[in-house]
Amino acid sequence: MQKIVEPLGFLVYMVILIYMGIYIYRNHNGNRVHMAFGSLAITLAIGESIYLIPRIYALITTGLEENLMLLGWGRIGHLVVMTLFFSMLIDLNKECFGLRRKVPLDKLLYGLLVFRVVIGVFPQNGHFQLEPDRTFLLLRTIPLIAYLIIVAIVIIICSWKRGVRGMPLLAMMLVPLGFTVEPELIENSSYIMLLMKSVVRGLLLLGIVFIGYREVRKANELSRY
């Protein structure tokens, strides 16, 4: 079942993500907000592929246990690229709301992400083992959750002040996303539970890109008249 469900889910997920990303890039028409969403989509596709392709390869060949080295490097690459993906939300906010650079807040946000990456590359994380070390799992997840909460609050406040639609929905996706980025966050989860959390995580990530995709489609439809 696992050898069928995961590859099929990955294929559907990547087709939808790449389609939206290509559409945004082809139709952004110089709009910096739309370009930021396009960059998010491409970075997300790269980050997800770095880990999921080795995982799918392991599943359909000799199994996860026999490919721990390949999976480990995939996990490290995924952590770094996905942290870059989350950092791009700061630039998206600035473009969307026309914000000036707020040095203290920016330093805090980037500091949380840098801490996540630094902690995440330590060998004690157990990336090359079947199960990650739970202490380091928490150490690299808590800064990300804090980061996403702060970004969500900023988005909601700016959206309320400027009357921007769509972005509050993105903000509401960020907090639950923080708790699903690492499926193993909840201890002793069954495979079905891990699979469900991975599906929720994928839907939330696609939802973020879809907001940009919808805005680009709307802009293109209006430009025809």
Say if residues 143 and 113 touch (Cβ distance below 8 Å): yes
**What residues does each domain of the chain span?**
2-223
pLDDT for the residue numbered 13: 95
138-154 pLDDT per residue, tens: 999 999 999 999 999 98
Sign of CA dihedral 208, 209, 214, 216: positive
Per CATH, domain 2-223 is 1.20.1070: yes
**CB contact at 8 A, 58 and 71:** yes
**206, HSE (Cβ side, Cα atoms, 13 Å):** 16
pLDDT tens-digit series, residues 189-198: 677 888 888 8
Look at residue 223 in the predicted model and tell me its pLDDT.
54
